[in-house]
């Protein structure tokens, strides 16, 4: 038990003392999470809206596939992205392998089905009466779209938080695509895996606590904003 308590104290020490290696991992984690969330939200929210709001051919099948992809194994995504980004792969020429951008691509693929499926659920759960109300008050197609997204904002926020949680805590993609390179592509999760392998449990616990703290801060801030609105 002592190493958990020691880990807590060490986490505080690492952060207070401005430990460069820890901050590098924190910075890398936040950077790839932000990149991947921007991409997945940018694509996922409109796609989720379309899936939740419109009827089209094969919708049910596409929905089933999207729901299934929500539980994509991170190592599988890592493997596929690695295969595409490696020198011999179709995107090898862009040099994204072992970069934060490469990890972000994989994490965006991981987050995208979550954002699409949960946004579609949030929009679907909006009553048909919402559309009736908006149109009968004179809304145009575009205004119906934006007002529906605004009405579904809590559901979309939940989708984003869910995806962020998955992205921040995944280790398979960051390890395989990023390569866990110190000062470069080492994220908090890959650092924890490494420290644990080395038998440095206390450092691993310290980094785990930092990871939890980031997740708490993000979730708490979003909850605060939600309650204020």
Partner 1 sequence: MNTPTYHLTEIKKFYNSNRAVYIEDLSIPESSITGLVGPNGSGKSTLLNMLAFIDRPSEGTILFKGQKAEPYSDIVRFRVSLLAQEPYLLKRSVYENVAYGLKLRGGNPSRYPEQVNESLALVGLSPREFSNRPWYGLSGGEAQRVALAARLVLKPEVLILDEPTASVDADSAGRIMDCAMMASKEWGTTLIIASHDWKWLHEICGNVLQMFKGKIIGNSMENIIFGPWNQNANRFWEKELEDGQRIRVPAPPSPSSAAIIQHGSISLTSQSPILMKYEHSLHGVIAQLSLEPSTNAVMVSIRAGSQTFMLRISQDEARETAISPGQKMYISYPLSAVTWY
What is the contact surface with partner 1 in residues (CB under 8 A)? Answer: 127, 129-133, 135-141, 143, 147, 151
Torsion (CA) 72, 106, 171, 86 in degrees, nearest 10: 120
Smallest gap from residue 141 Cβ to partner 1 (A):
6
Torsion angle (degrees, nearest 10) of CA 81, 36, 198, 97:
40
- Shortest approach of partner 1 to residue 133 CB, angstroms? 5
Per residue in 18-27, is it b (16+ CB within 10 Å) or e — as a string? ebeebebbbe
By beta-carbon proximity to partner 1, the closer residue of 26 and 122 is: 122
Q: How far apart are CA 153 and CA 160, in angstroms?
A: 10
Calculate the CA 115 to chain-centre distance.
9
- Of 31 and 53, nearer to partner 1 (C-beta) is 53
Q: Least distance from C-beta 41 to partner 1, angstroms?
A: 21
CB of 111 to partner 1, least distance (A): 26
The least distance separating partner 1 from the CB of residue 169, rounded to whole angstroms, comes to 31
CA 212/CA 216 separation, integer angstroms: 6
Cα gap 199→114, rounded to integer Å:
34
Instruction: For partner 1, give the closer residue by CB, 139 or 215.
Output: 139
Place of tokens 């280790």: 171
Q: How many CA atoms are closer than 13 Å to the CA of 191, on its beta-carbon side?
A: 26
Nearer to partner 1, 76 or 132 (CB): 132
């Amino acid at each position: 038990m002592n190493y958990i308590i020691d880990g807590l104290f060490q986490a505080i020490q690492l952060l207070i003392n401005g430990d460069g290696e820890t901050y590098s991992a924190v910075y890398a984690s936040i950077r790839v999470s932000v990149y991947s969330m921007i991409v997945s939200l940018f694509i996922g929210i409109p796609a989720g809206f379309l899936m939740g709001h419109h009827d089209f051919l094969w919708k049910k099948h596409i929905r089933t596939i999207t729901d299934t992809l929500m539980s994509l194994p991170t190592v599988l995504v890592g493997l596929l992205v690695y295969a595409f980004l490696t020198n011999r792969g179709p995107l090898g020429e862009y040099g994204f392998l072992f970069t934060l951008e490469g990890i972000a691509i994989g994490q965006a693929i991981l987050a995208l089905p979550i954002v699409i499926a949960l946004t579609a659920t949030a929009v679907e759960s909006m009553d048909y009466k919402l559309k009736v109300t908006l149109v009968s008050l004179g809304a145009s197609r575009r205004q119906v779209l934006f007002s529906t997204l605004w009405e579904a904002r809590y559901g979309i926020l939940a989708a984003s938080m869910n995806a962020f949680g998955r992205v921040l805590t995944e280790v398979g993609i960051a390890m395989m695509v990023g390569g866990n390179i110190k000062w470069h592509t080492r994220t908090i999760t890959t650092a924890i895996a490494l420290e644990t392998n080395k038998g440095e449990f206390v450092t691993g616990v310290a980094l785990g606590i930092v990871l939890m703290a980031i997740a708490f801060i993000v979730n708490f801030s979003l909850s605060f904003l939600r309650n204020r609105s």
